[in-house]
Amino acid sequence: MSGRTLLTEHRMEPGTGIALPVMRGQVLRISQVVGGQCADFNAFNLHDYKEHFHTGRTRHMHGMNPTTGAHLWSAPPRDRPMLTILADTCGSNDVMYPRCSAMLFDMHFGLSPHTNCHDIQAEAQRAYALTPDDVHDSFNFWMNTGIDGDGNPFIAPNRSREGDFVDLLAQIDVLAVPNVCGADVMQTSNFALKPLLVQVFEGTEEDHTHLEPNEPRFPRTQRSVSDFRQPVIKADRALVPDPGYAPEFTNVPLLTQRVPVTLDAAQAAALDDMVATGLFGTDRAEALRFAFFAWYIQTHMQGPRHFRAPAAAT
Amino acid sequence: MDDAVIVEVELNMQQMELVERLCAAEGLPEPGAALAVGLAAYLAAQAGVTA
């Protein structure tokens, strides 16, 4: 336990979840009581619920199955770590699948009502006056997933055992909302719903060495409400046009210019071959632009990269 | 250069920023030279793929 002081403890029974604040520097631990149980998870900025966890950015930064060392990122334009996985004794998590919902069990099995993560999340979040529409795509702890050889996602049996846990360091003050996944007729939790233990600890000095700086790492692009042209949260449900709206899209008009490039005959022929494939543009100039940036992202792009080298052009 | 061919590549201002940054970093005289460097490297890599 590394000398952490326990602040809160709660046993989540099957079909339930809980919303609890976790302040920057504190550690949220979710543990398997029996084993084999998936936990869905939502997180909100405790002081601004419109900033919340984003599976997409997390998937982008850490892949489909994030584990120790990965951050749980907030959605654009906030784009910052909300929590960090300090420990993960099983290493079998998912950010590919959405939360299960009532509709799924009705569609698949004709079951209604039925425990499901969306409704459990909504009910847990209601403790903080959030609505069912505020539930967002979940981080799925102990959900064993993958992609098969045909590119299709799949859910495999749960691999967690009694005592497995994940430790999440809060990078900002968050409302953390774990729930016991309600899918008892799927492999997600090995066809049985089991309790999970949730604990909040005061972080230790060692834990705090993993804290990100308070200041944004990319202050030009990690935006906050003070940067918004429209900072007011809508309180009515209907959508009506703003009569004062004047679009201010970034860098628009997107001006272009033509850059002359001198080629030798072999390069020109190679570009012709690229054009002939139909994949890289309709003329030499477009093929050259493709070639240049394909090389550029291979050699100069920072951060996680999600591309494969293009197939041979010739 | 014998049999030299000139093509004009359309870049938007954001792409130009990267190209100009590359010119500055590599000491290249103008954007066309940067594009030529990238093209040569790309084609060399492709040749390696097909070899």
* Chain B interface mutation, best of A249, A277, A293, A295, highest count of B Cβ atoms under 10 Å: A295
DSSP B16-50: HHHHHHHHHHHT-SSHHHHHHHHHHHHHHHHHHHH
- Specify whether A51 is located in the same domain as A189: yes
Residue identified by tokens 């591309």 is A307
pTM across the whole model: 0.86
pLDDT value, residue A312: 46
Model pLDDT for residues A132-141, shown as the tens digit of each residue: 999 999 999 9
Cα A33 to Cα A196: distance, rounded to the nearest angstrom: 5
Which of B31, B36, B50 lies closest to A314 in CB terms? B50
pLDDT-derived band at A310, boundaries 50, 70, 90 = low
Q: Nearest-CA neighbor of A135 among A260, A12, A276, A19?
A: A19
Query: Could you identify the residue written with the tokens 């969306």?
Result: A118
Q: For residue A243, is it within any domain?
A: no
pLDDT value at residue B16: 96
Residues A149 and A282 in one domain: no
Q: Which residues from A are below 8 Å from B43, CB to CB?
A: 267, 270, 291, 313
- Considering the domain architecture, whether residues A185 and A279 belong to the same structural domain is answered as no
For residue A26, is pLDDT > 90?
yes
Place of tokens 């002359």: A260
Do A258 and B9 lie within an 8 Å CB cutoff?
yes
As a whole number, the mean pLDDT across chain A is: 93
Residues A197 and A93 reside in one and the same domain: yes
Nearest-Cα distance to chain B for A223, in Å, is 20
Is residue A191 domain-shared with residue A285, that is, in the same domain?
no
Q: What is the mean pLDDT of residues A168-184?
A: 97
Is residue A282 a part of any domain in this protein?
yes
- pLDDT at position A314 over 60: no
Residues of A in contact with B40 (CB under 8 A): 267
| Of the candidates A310, A23, A18, A33, the residue with the CA atom closest to the CA atom of residue A196 | A33
pLDDT at residue B50 greater than cutoff 70: no
- Asked whether residue A311 carries a pLDDT value surpassing 60, the answer given is no
Instruction: Answer yes or no: do A122 and A198 share one domain.
Output: yes
A interface mutation test: which of B6, B10, B42, B43 has the most A CBs within 10 A? B42
* Count: domains in chain A: 2
In this structure, the answer to whether residues A124 and A20 fall within a common structural domain is yes
Model confidence at A195, pLDDT cuts 50, 70, 90, reads: very high
Are B7 and A261 a contacting pair at CB < 8 A?
Answer: yes
Q: Assess whether A286 and A156 both reside in one domain.
A: no
CB atoms A268 and B43 under 8 Å: no
Q: Which domain holds residue A137?
A: 5-214
**A172 inside domain:** yes
Across the range A34-44, mean pLDDT stands at: 97
CB count within 10 Å of CB A178 equals: 29
What's the ipTM? 0.95
What is the sign of the dihedral through the CA atoms of A129, A135, A136 and A138?
positive
Same domain membership, residue A273 and residue A155: no
